[in-house]
Amino acid sequence: MAQRHNSVRSYTLCEFAQEQEVNHREILREHLKEEKLHAKKMKLTKNGTVESVEADGLTLDDVSDE
């Protein structure tokens, strides 16, 4: 990241609220993907009791957005 920023953007209060809502939804979507990944890994490892190479290789990219 640069030491100094060279642009400024002004928002109305309504635009700021909309931007915050978009950011909040993205954070929730990311948390849901992480939960789905954890559940998938638990299923592959029989609830964490058996190691699985397939489970170790899973990433958030392997989880669908649906």
What confidence tens digit (pLDDT) does each residue in 3-40 have?
Answer: 787 888 898 999 999 999 999 999 999 999 999 888 88
A 10 A CB-CB count for 44 gives 18
Which residues are within 8 A (CB) of 34 and not within 5 positions of it... i.e. 6 or more apart? Answer: 60
Please give the pLDDT value at position 13.
96
Please give the pLDDT value at position 50.
63
d(CA 42, CA 22): 30
Please give the pLDDT value at position 22.
97
Q: What is the CA radius of gyration of the chain?
A: 19
Please give the pLDDT value at position 65.
64
Higher pLDDT, 51 or 20: 20
pTM over the 0.85 mark: no
Contact 38, 62 (CB under 8 A): no
